[in-house]
Amino acid sequence: MEKYYAYPCEKCGDCCRHIDLLEEMKSFDRGDGVCKHLTADNLCEISSERPNLCNGEYLYKNFYSDMTVEEFHQIMSELCKDVRRWELEGLYKKISDAGRAKFGGDAEKFACIAGGGSLSGKI
């Protein structure tokens, strides 16, 4: 397995604004679907102790170690673009329902795509 290096996150915060769609993240919801640990500047105030669902290194090592980190980051980049588009189009709930069905309730795999979509056939 390749040594992991951090995804170059642009810190838009969109992936942290709809955690209410994931049953496993409800305890982090501040009441409006936004993670209670998301700061005003879109950073995670518990980054070093964040849940596995929010940890790219954990996801890579446990689900995607059969590919390079660069390949994993490319998938994450495409998914990030989708999340931003979904945010703009208000599609989270619809995509979440479809994603939940597709991924059979596997929270870690489902969460790494922030509510739906595809990981290029990886799951």
Structure token digits, residue 26 = 């409800």
Longest dimension (CA), the chain: 39
Nearest residue to 25 (alpha-carbon basis) of 50, 58, 62, 48: 50
Domain boundaries, the chain: 14-111
CB 23 within 8 A of CB 106: no
* Tens of each residue's pLDDT in the chain, 123 residues: 889 999 998 888 888 988 887 788 889 999 988 999 999 999 999 999 999 888 999 999 999 999 999 999 998 888 888 878 777 776 555 555 555 555 445 545 545 544 333 333 333
Residue 118 confidence (pLDDT): 35
Residue 4 C-beta-side C-alpha neighbours within 13 Å: 16
Distance CA 74, CA 65 (A): 14
Residue 44 confidence (pLDDT): 94
pTM here is 0.67
